[in-house]
């Protein structure tokens, strides 16, 4: 293996060895959401024609789990290395900052996709799944996981202790994912809150992802693709810059 391949392998092995916690745990959480919200609101909420509310929930829950775990993978790996003091051994290697970027973000994408697939696999026992446009599903899944992997990289570089990372996740990542249309269509909101939702890039990730299943969405999938692609490019550029300058890892 080359340097970046070995680092990628190490990062994938890190979460896979505790898959019961890093993969099975998030899948179970998503299923609890599906059971509680799906069964409680199935007969009370109608979003798209001929689509049950339970089926509507599945793509949103899968994407939410994918995004949260992609973020958690890169951020937790970096903060653990910094707190435990073993990051210095990685810095002694001749790996470039791009090697770091590809390995950490690549492992985040893999973990996010594995968790998302796990949610789909279990959801098949509860509702019938349809796939209208698989390419849209794949595009938004990969870009969303990459964006969150980069954001986790930034958070992991910035944080100096677990409390700071937890604050970033609890006050930034969690609210933006829960208020992105996972459990509802934004058309059910008042006009003011619809406008606020359009400022949330997480909304476009979930709405575009959901379009791949049903061929229906709250906004154009091309608009969602543009917003998500632009956000991914910006966050990736920031993460690469911080790695190149050695932000909070060379002191």
pLDDT of residue 113: 96
Q: What is the pLDDT of residues 110-138, one digit of tens each?
A: 999 999 999 999 988 888 888 889 999 99
Give 190-203 as a 3 state SS string: CHHHHHHHCCCHHH
CB of 234 closer than 8 Å to CB of 150: no
pLDDT given at position 129: 81
Q: What length does the chain have?
A: 251
Q: For position 24, what pLDDT does the model report?
A: 94
Of 88, 231, 85, 239, the closest CA to residue 150 belongs to 239
In 3-state terms, the chain is what percent helix, strand and coil (to 5)?
75, 0, 25
Q: Whole-angstrom Cα distance, residue 169 to residue 162?
A: 11
Closest CA to 239 of 171, 156, 180, 133: 156
Write the CB contacts of 126 (distance below 8 Å, at least 6 apart in sequence): 31, 34, 35, 38, 54
What is the model's pLDDT at position 46?
67
Give residue 125's pLDDT: 84
**Those residues with Cβ within 8 angstroms of residue 213's Cβ, 6 or more apart along the chain or in another chain:** 58, 59, 129, 130, 131, 132, 137
What string of pLDDT tens digits covers the 251 residues of the chain? Answer: 688 899 999 999 999 999 999 999 999 999 998 888 877 776 666 677 677 888 888 999 999 999 999 999 999 999 998 888 888 888 888 889 999 999 999 999 999 999 999 999 998 888 888 888 999 999 999 999 999 999 999 999 999 888 899 999 889 998 898 888 888 888 778 888 888 888 999 999 999 999 999 888 888 999 999 999 999 999 999 999 999 998 888 75
């Amino acid at each position: 293996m080359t340097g970046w391949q070995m680092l990628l392998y190490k990062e994938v092995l890190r979460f896979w060895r505790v898959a019961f916690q890093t993969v099975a745990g998030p899948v179970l959480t998503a299923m609890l959401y599906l059971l509680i919200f799906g069964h409680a609101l199935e007969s009370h909420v109608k979003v798209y024609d001929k689509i049950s509310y339970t089926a509507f929930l599945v793509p949103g829950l899968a994407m939410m789990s994918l995004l949260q775990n992609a973020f958690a993978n890169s951020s937790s790996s970096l903060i653990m290395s910094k707190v435990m003091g073993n990051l210095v051994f990685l810095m002694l290697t001749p790996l470039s900052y791009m090697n770091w970027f590809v390995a950490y973000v690549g492992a985040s994408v893999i973990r996010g996709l594995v968790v998302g697939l796990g949610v789909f696999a279990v959801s098949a026992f509860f509702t019938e799944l349809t796939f209208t446009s698989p390419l849209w599903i794949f595009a938004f899944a990969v870009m969303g996981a990459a964006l969150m992997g980069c954001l986790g990289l930034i958070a992991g570089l910035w944080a100096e202790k677990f409390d700071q990372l937890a604050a970033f996740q609890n006050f930034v990542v969690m609210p933006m994912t829960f208020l992105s249309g996972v459990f509802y269509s934004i058309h059910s909101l008042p006009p003011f809150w619809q406008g606020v939702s359009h400022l949330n890039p997480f909304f476009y990730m979930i709405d575009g992802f959901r379009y791949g299943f049903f061929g229906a969405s709250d906004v154009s999938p091309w608009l969602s693709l543009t917003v998500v692609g632009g956000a991914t490019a910006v966050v990736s550029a920031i993460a690469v810059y911080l790695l190149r300058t050695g932000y909070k890892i060379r002191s």
